[in-house]
Amino acid sequence: MSLTPVGYAAFVELHYGHYEMYARARLGDAGLAEQVVALVLRRAEADWAWALRDDPAAFTWRALREAVSVACKNAPTSPSDALHRVMPARAADAALLHEFLGLEPAAAAALMGLDEPAVHVQLKAARRWRTGRDSIGGA
């Protein structure tokens, strides 16, 4: 019988709700979001020793973003996922977490495995990207 590492259990307790909100926002389907998050967290648990060598938050976030992106190909279109169809992934993630899900930049950074200034850079990039697109579309 395998025991779940205490650090992993605390990590899941800390991040699970936000992972599920992110997946649900992108997929537009709560059931599918739960399945994707469960799959990603099983993978993280299996690779926990490896994740600890790097950064568990960054490791798990990459796996979550990848799994959600794959699931999006087979899910109905979600209005929130429009960001990911037209914007670079990190900027879209930062904008979704901060602007749509209401996370403060520090919380988004912790979730994504980035430092807070990096999230601010991504939020600025998202704003610039949207401003540029609006001016192109309005021309």
Separation of alpha carbons 46 and 57, rounded Å: 15
Q: Which of 7, 125, 126, 107 is nearest to 61 (CA)?
A: 107
Residue ranges of domains in the chain: 6-138
* Digitized pLDDT (tens) for each residue of the chain, 139 residues in all: 455 677 899 999 999 999 999 999 999 889 999 999 999 999 999 989 888 888 999 999 999 999 999 998 876 666 667 888 889 999 999 999 999 999 999 999 999 999 999 999 999 999 998 887 654 444 4
Topology (CATH) of 6-138:
Butyryl-CoA Dehydrogenase, subunit A; domain 3 (1.20.140)
